[in-house]
Amino acid sequence: MHGLPKDPRTLLQTKTRHDIKNISGGSYYHFGFHHGISCHLDNKKTPLPCPSLRIQVNIDGLPLYKSSNAQFWPILGLIECFENRVQTNREPFVIGIYFGNQKPTTLEFLDEFINDTRVLERDGFFYQGASIAIALSAVFCDAPARAFIRRSKGHTGFYSCHKCHVKGATYQGRMTFPQSDAPPRLDSETFDEFSDEQHFTGFSPFNVLTVGIVTQFPHDYMHVVCLGVVRKLLYFWMRKPLHTRVGTAVVQEVSTALLGYRSHFPTEFNRKPRALTEFERWKATELRSFLLYTGPASLKGRVSTEIFNNFMLLSVAMTILLSVSLVGDYTDYAHTLLLAFVKHCSQLYGREYIGYNMHALLHLSEQTTTYGALNNLSCFPFENFLGQLKTMIRKPNKPLEQIIRRLSEKRFKSSESLSTESSLTMEHFSGPVPPHLTAIKQFRRMCVQRVIIQVSASDSCVELAGRRIVVIQNIIVDNKGEVHIVFRSFLKLCNLFEYPLKSSEVGIYHLSALSPQLHHTLAAHIQKKYVLLPIKDGFAGLPMLHQ
């Protein structure tokens, strides 16, 4: 076998030399901003570039082990792929990684990233003989990390809000933010002049970039809404205060309903619903699913009207802000709902709970003017990637070196492989086929712009033109090569709820009376995919928003 490599590291082109620097109380390796963009484009993770690219950046801490303080602070980038303001691909790349037994003692670990960004902003990026203008679109962090890299007060400070000049007030030992109409902060006054020393604690490395230190550090709904507010609501219902705690029987009923949804949950959801009693272990994706889908269906008729209506203020507002079709016309209404939600939470749960995350809700709608639907401003892709990074660590010794090697191997494998996924899969011969449609091939599954449609309880409900909600029974290719769906329609569409508005206005229905008659139409007529959850006397139909 002469000529074959003796070691798999040769075949995988594993990187063996690492220019690791001791910095900020730990170790840092810089992959490079240019390197990340080039690899991303080479691997066809995004369409061939236009004259300019906008990059989102995420900087956050990542604990590595439960029994140790060892942690990464990766600097991740993500190329925005807007088409009609919808991001069609959300896969990050690594710019640099800091490793230490505590968070960085200084911001020196950002220096190489800042220098790379300045060069890209000035000279652009050359790819396939073309010059591409590069600009930072947004910098994402959770509240502690954002305060750290911006050199501003933490989220428990009186002047911690980086969006407005609200002054916090201490109430029952908690920092609260009762004011909802404080004047906004401006990039000009804070970026250049440091007019508010009560907010800033020093000079941030980002001050040398053309980045709006207010407008381009947006709130991320994963941290603010899902991990912040929704988890707090569950805590109110399950733990305290006593007057809002729901009974054991109600918890059991809701949990039974949630578990019953598992077989109906679409493939795109990483996690299936769990019992309400496990809420403290729910991940961000589960909290998002509860807010947008399972919560409205499982809580209705089980919790008190006051608690349900309060929850629906938040749920409907987020449905609007996450929906590409609704956010443009209903942004102001969503902001009104969030104002009402925060005010009602103060009355229902107590003024002491109107903290940083509750206040941050009031700034979400303003971000849609620049970035569109809030799915464009999400840490979910970054969090998923951080989870992948942790799985690359095979042993506790030298984790940074391991990550460098695994990422070099990943680049090689990605460049050698292309996606072979077909849009039509799971061929069968069992029908049903309408008598006037000539079927050349039949399939159970198809992929349309990364959305899975298949003949199953979890992935078969879609909306057609004219607000027709249907359940797909078969997928057929006719003698002309056109793809058809065979379906049955719901004949009765009612409102699932009527507060704070009729649910049909945001595309949410109580569905019943599925027609026995088969119909067919071209698959291209599918408008959107629906989440179909069983409830009393039918189904709750809710549009899948992150598609």
What is the C-alpha separation between 475 and 430, in angstroms, rounded? 11
Closest by CA to 539, choosing from 469, 487, 488, is 469
**Residue finishing a domain among 358, 393, 416:** 416
What is the C-alpha separation between 156 and 164, in angstroms, rounded? 15
Quote the domain boundaries for residue 227: 221-374
C-alpha angle 29/113/198, rounded to 5°? 120
Residue 69, number of CB atoms within 10 A of its CB: 11
Looking at the fold, whether 135 and 35 belong to one and the same domain comes out as: yes
Q: Which residue has the tokens 């925060």?
A: 342
Does some domain include residue 206?
Answer: no
pLDDT (tens digit per residue) in 484-543: 999 999 999 999 999 999 999 999 999 999 999 999 999 999 999 999 999 999 999 999
**Residue finishing a domain among 365, 399, 416:** 416
CATH of residue 468: 2.30.30
Looking at the fold, whether 23 and 40 belong to one and the same domain comes out as: yes
Looking at the fold, whether 76 and 19 belong to one and the same domain comes out as: yes
pLDDT (tens digit per residue) in 239-274: 988 889 999 999 999 999 999 999 999 999 989 999
Predicted model pTM: 0.92
**Token pair of 344 as six digits:** 């009602």
What is the C-alpha separation between 232 and 545, in angstroms, rounded? 23
Looking at the fold, whether 440 and 360 belong to one and the same domain comes out as: no
- pLDDT mean across residues, the chain: 90
* Neighbouring-strand partners of residue 538: 535
For residue 419, the model assigns a pLDDT of 42
Looking at the fold, whether 230 and 352 belong to one and the same domain comes out as: yes
**Residue finishing a domain among 348, 374, 400:** 374
pLDDT (tens digit per residue) in 65-93: 988 999 999 999 999 864 434 444 578 99
Looking at the fold, whether 245 and 366 belong to one and the same domain comes out as: yes
pLDDT (tens digit per residue) in 387-440: 999 999 999 889 999 999 888 887 655 544 434 345 899 999 998 999 888 889
Whether residue 13 is predicted with pLDDT greater than 80 in this model: the reply is no
Does some domain include residue 112?
Answer: yes
Q: Where does the pLDDT of residue 42 fall: very low under 50, low under 70, confident under 90, or very high at 90 and above?
A: confident
Looking at the fold, whether 479 and 519 belong to one and the same domain comes out as: yes
Looking at the fold, whether 396 and 469 belong to one and the same domain comes out as: no
Looking at the fold, whether 397 and 350 belong to one and the same domain comes out as: no
CA 448 to each of CA 240, 311, 353, 480: distance values in angstroms, whole numbers, following the listed order: 45, 33, 43, 19
pLDDT (tens digit per residue) in 126-141: 888 888 899 999 999 9
Does some domain include residue 9?
Answer: no
Does some domain include residue 485?
Answer: yes
Contact 155, 147 (CB under 8 A): yes
Q: What's the structural domain count of the chain?
A: 3
Looking at the fold, whether 225 and 363 belong to one and the same domain comes out as: yes
Does some domain include residue 173?
Answer: no
Q: Where does the pLDDT of residue 10 fall: very low under 50, low under 70, confident under 90, or very high at 90 and above?
A: low
H/E run at residue 198: none
Q: Which residue has the tokens 């090569």?
A: 481
H/E run at residue 70: none
- Tell me if the bond preceding 516 is cis, omega within 30° of 0: no
What is the C-alpha separation between 69 and 190, in angstroms, rounded? 34
Does some domain include residue 280?
Answer: yes
Does some domain include residue 180?
Answer: no
Looking at the fold, whether 410 and 460 belong to one and the same domain comes out as: no
Does some domain include residue 7?
Answer: no
Looking at the fold, whether 241 and 351 belong to one and the same domain comes out as: yes
